[in-house]
């Protein structure tokens, strides 16, 4: 038994050494080429008001009709029944047909979205949409505006539910431990309450403070308007976190202690540990915010 344990420890030490050597080599290459290796990294994104934006009046009408349809199907089939989702999907097909016909009138895409998502894919990252909308409908909307090929996968609610599936997205992509998902995952959204993966945030307490996936906060996209923080900034910020953290996003965030370090080639930003009053049971989360072009 003692001999087996010693051999296992040696293998473990060798594996750790090999991993660190690989990361060192990637970072060294990145310094000379400007390239960042994001293999095994997950970028979990919201869609509405982050990547896609709807004309306000029509969006409000759409949301109201969706809520009414969902409640009607719940009353018909029973709350939590998979049949609710099945009926809702068929109903959304009619909605999508109208959107397809009128897309130029009320559907826009955030500046820089296409190039940013493509660059993340090229660097090896996975672009994963986590939404409470139905997957077929969401996929069609992305295809309609030309972003479909830049999305790795879409996680919509489980049958009978409208809850976002952040945990499933992380687990099913190999992040099965806290160490892995803190190291390899960033959350991107415009709403610190609705877009955060709260199931991945530990309970409130000093040892847990700030030990959650990094949330990169962009301003909400408004129909027909340009934004201060186009999605091009996302690629530069993720690359910075990866390099500073030696392939570890959270470690990269924690290494930023001075304003001059919160800067990429084209953007500046601020960092904070944020406590959501509506999530009083949760630890503070690391947030990157106020993303602005450098003057």
If you average pLDDT over residues 150-175, what whole number do you get?
Answer: 94
Mean confidence (pLDDT) of the chain: 88
CA–CA distance from 115 to each of 69, 109, 121, 145, 232 (Å)?
Answer: 36, 12, 10, 13, 7
Q: Does a structural domain hold residue 267?
A: yes
Which range of 54-68, 86-100, 210-224 scores highest in mean pLDDT? It is 210-224
8 Å CB contact between 155 and 165: yes
> Phi and psi at residue 285, in whole multiples of 5°?
-110, 145
What is the domain extent for residue 266?
Answer: 31-51+108-293
pTM, 2 dp: 0.84
Q: Does a structural domain hold residue 275?
A: yes
Hey, which residues does 271 pair with through a beta bridge?
288
Q: In what order do the strands lie in the sheet with 153-155?
A: 153-155, 126-130, 42-45, 185-189, 214-217, 285-293, 267-274
Burial-class residue 188 by CB neighbours within 10 Å (0-12, 13-18, 19+).
buried
Beta carbons within 8 Å of 200's beta carbon, 6+ residues apart: 166, 167, 170, 181, 185, 212, 213
Q: Does a structural domain hold residue 150?
A: yes
8 Å CB contact between 281 and 215: no
**pLDDT the model gives residue 32:** 34
Q: Identify the residue whose tokens are 């601020």.
A: 270
Q: Does a structural domain hold residue 180?
A: yes
102-106, 109-113, 225-229: the lowest-pLDDT one: 102-106
User: Where residue 196 sits, what CATH number does that domain have?
Assistant: 3.40.50.1000
Q: Using CA atoms, how far apart are residues 168 and 165, in angstroms rounded to an integer?
A: 5
- Residue 214 structure tokens: 């990094």
Residue 11 vs residue 256, higher pLDDT: 256
Is a pLDDT exceeding 60 seen at residue 202? yes
Q: How many residues does the chain have?
A: 295
Query: Domain total for the chain?
Result: 1
Check residue 30 and report its DSSP letter.
H
Q: Does a structural domain hold residue 94?
A: no
Q: Does a structural domain hold residue 76?
A: no
Query: With bands split at pLDDT 50, 70 and 90, how would you rate the model's confidence at 289?
Result: very high
Q: Does a structural domain hold residue 169?
A: yes
Q: Does a structural domain hold residue 90?
A: no
């Amino acid at each position: 038994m003692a001999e087996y344990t010693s051999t296992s420890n040696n293998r473990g030490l060798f594996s750790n050494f090999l991993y660190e050597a690989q990361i060192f080599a990637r970072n060294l290459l990145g310094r000379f080429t400007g390239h960042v290796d994001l293999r095994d990294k997950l970028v979990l994104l919201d869609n509405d008001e982050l990547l896609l934006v709807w004309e306000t009046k029509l969006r409000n009408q759409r949301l109201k009709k969706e809520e009414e349809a969902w409640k009607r199907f719940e009353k018909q089939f029973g709350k939590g029944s998979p049949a609710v989702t099945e009926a809702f999907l068929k109903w959304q097909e009619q909605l999508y047909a109208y959107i397809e016909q009128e897309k130029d009138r009320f559907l826009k895409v955030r500046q820089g979205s296409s190039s940013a998502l493509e660059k993340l894919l090229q660097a090896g990252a996975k672009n994963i949409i986590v939404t409470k909308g139905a997957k077929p409908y969401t996929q069609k909307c992305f295809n309609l505006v030309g972003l479909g090929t830049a999305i790795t996968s879409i996680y919509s609610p489980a049958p009978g539910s409208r809850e976002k599936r952040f945990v499933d997205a992380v687990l099913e992509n190999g992040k099965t431990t806290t160490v892995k998902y803190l190291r390899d995952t960033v959350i991107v959204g415009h709403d610190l309450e609705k877009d955060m993966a709260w199931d991945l945030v530990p309970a409130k307490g000093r040892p847990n403070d700030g030990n959650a996936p990094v949330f990169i906060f962009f301003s909400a996209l408004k129909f027909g308007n340009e934004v201060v923080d186009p999605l091009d900034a996302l690629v530069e910020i993720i690359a910075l976190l990866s390099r500073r953290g030696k392939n570890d996003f959270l470690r990269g965030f924690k290494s930023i202690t001075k304003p001059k370090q919160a800067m990429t080639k084209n953007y500046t930003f601020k960092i904070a540990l944020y406590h959501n009053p509506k999530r009083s049971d949760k630890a503070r989360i690391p947030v990157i915010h106020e993303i602005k072009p450098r003057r």
